[in-house]
Amino acid sequence: MHEVEIAVAIAVATLRAATPLMLAGFGELITERSGVLNLGVEGMMLMGASVGFIGTVATGSPILGLLLAMLAGAALALVFGVLTLSLMANQVATGLALTIFGVGFSALVGVNWVGTPLQGLSTDIWPSLSTAPPMVQQLMLLDPLVWVAVLLPFVVQWFIYRTRAGMILRAVGESSDVAHALGYSVLRIRYFAVLFGGAMSGLAGAYLSLAYSPMWSENMVAGRGWIALALVVFSTWKPLWLALGSLLFGFVTIAQFQAEGLGLALSPHLLAMLPYIATIVVLVLISRDATRLKLNAPAALGRPFHATA
C-alpha cells in the first residue's frame, strides 16, 4: 500500500509539473497548425506570470488574475501578429524579440512584487475532501488548472480532426493560397490562432505564479516556454503525443526531487539540468528522421501570406 501511495504522489507531482507545458504547448500547437511560428512563448508566459500574480494580489480574485494573465499573453501575441501577419516581418526574428521583450518587461512590471506572499489557487471544489481516502485526497487537491490541462488534449484532438473549424485551420496551415482561393480569410484565421496561443501561454505563466509556486520572481518560467516549443516538434504536431511528451518532461522535472529524497550523491545543479538535457536528447533523436518531420509539419509553417485580390 505504501508503494501505491508513493506512485500516486509521483503521478500527482508529474501532472502539476506538466500542466504549464501542456497549456503553453497546446496554444503553440494551434498557432503552428495555422502556419505561424511564434517563438515568443517564453516571453508571453513571463508576462502572464507577472500580470496574473499582480492582478490576483491587487484584486484578491484568482479568476480575475488568470483572465488578466490571458489578456497579457494575448496582447503580446497581437503585437507579434501585427508585425508578422500584417507587416510580414520575419517570424523567427520577431518571436525571439518578443521573448527578449517579455523577459525584460515582466521583470520591470513585477519589480515591486518580488517576495509578496500569496495563498495560491483554491482547491476547495470537493465538499467531502476530509472524508476521502489519503490517495484520493491527493488527486482531489490538484489545482483546477491541472484538470483543464488533463482535458485539453482530448478537446484539441476533437477540434482539429472532428470539426469544420479545425479542418479550415489545418487547410490554412497546409496551403494558405488554396485556402484563400476557396474563400477563407487566411489572415483572420491566423490572427485568431496567434491570439489563442498567446492567451494559453499567459495562462501557463499564471499557473506557475499562482499555483505551482505561488510567488513572483524574475525569470521564474525558467525555460519552460522553450521546452513547450520543443514538445510541439517532439509530438509532430499531434495533440495526444504532445500530452505524453509533457508528462514525460514533467516526470523528468520532478525526478531531481525524487533523487534528492532517495539520497543519491548527485550535484543539485546536475539534477536541475535534467529537463533541458532531456529536451536536447529528444530533439537530436527527432532531427535524425527528417522525413517524418516533413510529413507531419504544416507545409506553410513560417511562410508569410501575401493576400491577393
Looking at per-residue confidence, does 159 or 248 come out higher?
159
What residue type is 132 in one-letter code?
A: A
Q: Is residue 301 part of a domain?
A: no
Residues 106-146 have pLDDT tens digits of: 999 999 999 888 876 665 555 555 555 565 666 667 788 99
In terms of Cβ atoms closer than 10 Å to its own Cβ (0-12, 13-18, 19+), residue 48 is: buried
Q: Is residue 309 part of a domain?
A: no
Q: How far apart are CA 104 and CA 6, in angstroms?
A: 40
**For position 222, which CATH number holds?**
1.10.3470
Residues 161-174 have pLDDT tens digits of: 999 999 999 999 99
Q: Would you say residue 222 has pLDDT above 60?
A: yes
Angle between helices 224-234 and 239-261 (to 10 degrees): 130
Q: How far apart are CA 294 and CA 102, in angstroms?
A: 31
Q: Is residue 182 within 8 Å of 301, Cβ to Cβ?
A: no
Give residue 45's pLDDT band: very low, low, confident or very high (50, 70, 90): very high
Residues 262-278 have pLDDT tens digits of: 666 666 667 677 777 77
* Domain that includes residue 270, residue range: 2-114+135-296
Q: Would you say residue 47 has pLDDT above 90?
A: yes
Which candidate, 35, 30, 305, places its Cα nearest to that of 177? Answer: 305
pTM of the model: 0.90
The size of the chain, in residues, is 309
Looking at per-residue confidence, does 60 or 259 come out higher?
60
% of the chain surpassing 90 pLDDT: 61
Element of type H or E holding 175: none
Give, in order, the Cα–Cα distances in Å from 215 to each of 9, 49, 278. 23, 9, 27
Q: Would you say residue 252 has pLDDT above 90?
A: no
Q: Would you say residue 151 has pLDDT above 90?
A: yes
Q: Is residue 146 part of a domain?
A: yes
Q: Is residue 308 part of a domain?
A: no
Q: Is residue 280 part of a domain?
A: yes
Q: Is residue 307 within 8 Å of 255, Cβ to Cβ?
A: no
Q: What angle do CA 202, 119, 256 make, to 5 degrees?
A: 70
pLDDT of residue 119: 76
Q: Is residue 26 part of a domain?
A: yes
Q: Which value, in Å, is the radius of gyration of the alpha carbons in the chain?
A: 20
pLDDT of residue 154: 96
Q: Is residue 250 part of a domain?
A: yes
Min mean pLDDT across 228-237, 245-254, 285-294 is at 285-294
pLDDT of residue 117: 81
71's grid cell:
489578456
Min mean pLDDT across 86-90, 127-131, 153-157, 174-178 is at 127-131
Q: How many domains does the chain have?
A: 1
pLDDT of residue 259: 63
Q: Is residue 127 part of a domain?
A: no
